[in-house]
Amino acid sequence: MKKLMLWSGHAWVALPVRFYLAYVFISACWHKILEPGLFAVDVATYQILPLSLINLAAITLPWVELGVGIMLIVGFRSRAAALMVAGMMVIFMTALGIALYNELDMSCGCFASSAAAAEDPISMMTMWRDAGWLALALYVVFFDRRSLGVDAWMQRVKEGKEKKNAS
Amino acid sequence: MAKKEALIILRDTVVFTVAFSVVGIVFNAVREKGIPLIATEAYEIYVPCPEPLGEVWPMAPDAAEVRDSRTILIDARSAEEYRDWHAPGAIHVLYDYLDPLPDEVLDRLSGEFARSGKARVVVYGDGEGKMGDTGYELGRELSGRGLRNVYVIEADVETFKRSLQP
């Protein structure tokens, strides 16, 4: 198991996974940032958050999604970014589960507002899709120990300085 | 080492989540389309009922298909209006938006039309064949139940009446 965890190829396997998750999250946040009012209605439709938290969630969540997407692309604190993705997926899946349990007939509001995507209703397929993204995020968290990108570059710079100081 | 690594990841997760949230709040505060940080009035949540509505296609009142024997012509106006005048051969199916036809009736009608062997259904109503017109709305209901080739006369009844005169 330890051998598997330390395999150096994980960084290369995780690279397309990171790009894919980044693509998913950046494309998901776009309409939410442009139309926070519509996204707030989407959040309210889930009927989970109290009124006082709906707007706060609608304002902050898209920016966390955008930030996570950028971090995953450039490879800066990739594992923390992937953990944020995993956390958001758990939150989304819980919200979806409650909405499905309550038999709410609604669109998920993930990639377009409900008003514009009434033909994208929530279903168990939405849950499976989110579960897939959760699995990918957890792969990056646990296996991408030497992420390619800014993290690797900073590590090399640090190691170079240490070598220089030692000599 | 692993524990330290996990703590660093957790710390970064919290720090960046807070940082991005702050960026979002600041951006929202300065932008024109910003919304209040705390909603004061409840949102009107629109959860649409699952209505099986389909597509209807416009048809000119003087189109040859209107007189075609393979056309089922439906008058979706009130019974009084139907009694006053209706297109030759038109069947009366009352459509009232506030008192919609039961699903069973719509299912039965669309089944009968589908089995009739006719080529198309043409509906006319109390408007001009656009949204809100009883013919248009009934057409969508029938189309939503799987009936193909549903058309609506895109004109008011007077124009339709004139176009049917020899």
β-pairing, B120-124 vs B150-153, is parallel
Provide the ipTM: 0.84
DSSP A88-138: HHHHHHHHHHHHHHTT---B--SSS-GGG-TTSB--HHHHHHHHHHHHHHH
In angstroms, the CA A151 to CA A162 distance is 16
Cβ <8 Å between B45 and A45: yes
- Out of A24-28, A115-119, B53-57, the most confident range is A24-28
Percent of chain B exceeding pLDDT 90 equals 49
β-pairing, B71-75 vs B120-124, is parallel
What is the per-residue pLDDT across B82-141, written as a single tens digit (0 to 9) for each?
A: 999 999 999 999 988 777 788 888 888 888 888 887 889 999 999 998 888 999 999 998
Per-residue model confidence (pLDDT) at position A56: 95
Query: Where does the pLDDT of residue A115 fall: very low under 50, low under 70, confident under 90, or very high at 90 and above?
Result: very low
Residue A40 in tokens? 């707030």
Cβ proximity of B129 and B150 under 8 Å: no
Per-residue model confidence (pLDDT) at position B47: 53
- If interface means Cβ-Cβ distance under 8 Å, which residues of chain B face chain A? 9-10, 12-13, 16-17, 19-21, 23-25, 27-28, 33-39, 42-43, 45-50
- If interface means Cβ-Cβ distance under 8 Å, which residues of chain A face chain B? 34-37, 40-41, 44-45, 47, 51-52, 54-56, 58-64, 66-68, 71, 77, 79-81, 83-84, 87, 104-106, 114-115, 118, 141
Cβ proximity of B129 and B136 under 8 Å: yes
A105–chain B nearest CA distance, Å: 6
What is the per-residue pLDDT across B89-103, written as a single tens digit (0 to 9) for each?
A: 999 999 887 777 888
A94 vs A99, more confident? A94
Per-residue model confidence (pLDDT) at position A117: 46
Query: How buried is residue B161: exposed, middle or buried, by Cβ count under 10 Å (0-12/13-18/19+)?
Result: middle
What is the per-residue pLDDT across B21-66, written as a single tens digit (0 to 9) for each?
A: 999 999 999 998 889 999 888 887 655 555 677 889 999 999 999 9
